[in-house]
Amino acid sequence: MSTNQPHPRVLAVLEEPTFPFDRNLHVKPLEAPVVPEPDRWGEDPAGCGACDRADDTYLWTDDSWRLSAANGQPLTGVVILESRAHYDSFADLPDDLTSSFGPVLARVERAVLASGDVGRVHLHRWGDGGAHFHVWFIPRPLGRMQMRGSNLPVWLDVLDDPGEAAHADAWARTAAVLAATGGTSHVEPMGSAPH
């Protein structure tokens, strides 16, 4: 096999219809592990930006959860659900939050589905960037079959951001649908820019 020819496994990835790039890519060599790992954003609760945020900077809040607009994304309606209190991951959540997590996920998904032309809502949990518990809801635009599956976050990295004004209606709809079944919307009615 030519050294310029991708490994068949890599070629399969490159030719996947949902992969955002063409074939002129090369796989990076793996770097050495870094142990212990470096701190993430908000590792110390005393200096955590999520803990410090006021409710009115969120789209919606209740006693346990807060929903944030994900600014700077190229798809409209992307939101992040955070625990109100500082916990790291599922392993750290108290029982009352693990019990309410499923119902609030369903509510947020319904709200995002109602926010515009959404084909499906993708739920993502990483935790490698920030240490305050959060999950992403990424609405795949209706009919955008290239964006199906796990490459959707990669598309977020390569498409152009249409600007915050383009997101306002989607976020306002999401907050309003959530607030209809509990909690508080912090967004003005549709047509006004959210915080």
Nearer to Zn ion, 98 or 192 (CB): 98
* Helices 164-179 and 95-113: angle between axes, nearest 10 degrees: 120
**How near is the Cβ of 68 to Zn ion at its closest, in Å?**
12
Question: Least distance in Å: CB of 85 to Zn ion?
Answer: 8
Residue whose CB is less far from Zn ion, 132 or 140: 132
Q: Of 51 and 114, which has the nearer Cβ to Zn ion?
A: 51
Shortest approach of Zn ion to residue 50 CB, angstroms? 4
Identity at 37, one-letter amino acid code? E
DSSP, collapsed to helix, strand or coil, labels residue 120 as: strand
Of all residues in the shown chain, the one whose CB is closest to Zn ion is 48
The Cα 158–Cα 135 span in angstroms is: 21
Smallest distance from Zn ion to CB 80, Å: 13
Residues linked to residue 83 through DSSP beta bridges, in sequence order: 65
CA–CA dist 174, 54 (Å, integer): 19
Report the relative pairing of strands 134-141 and 118-124 from DSSP bridges.
Answer: antiparallel
- What does the alpha-carbon distance between residue 71 and residue 177 come to, in Å, rounded to a whole number? 20
Q: Return residues touching Zn ion (CB under 5 A).
A: 48, 50-51, 86, 132
Our CB check for Zn ion shows the closer of 44 and 56 to be: 44
Least distance from C-beta 130 to Zn ion, angstroms? 8
10/48 with CB nearer Zn ion:
48
Residue 119's φ and ψ, nearest 5 degrees, are: -80, -40
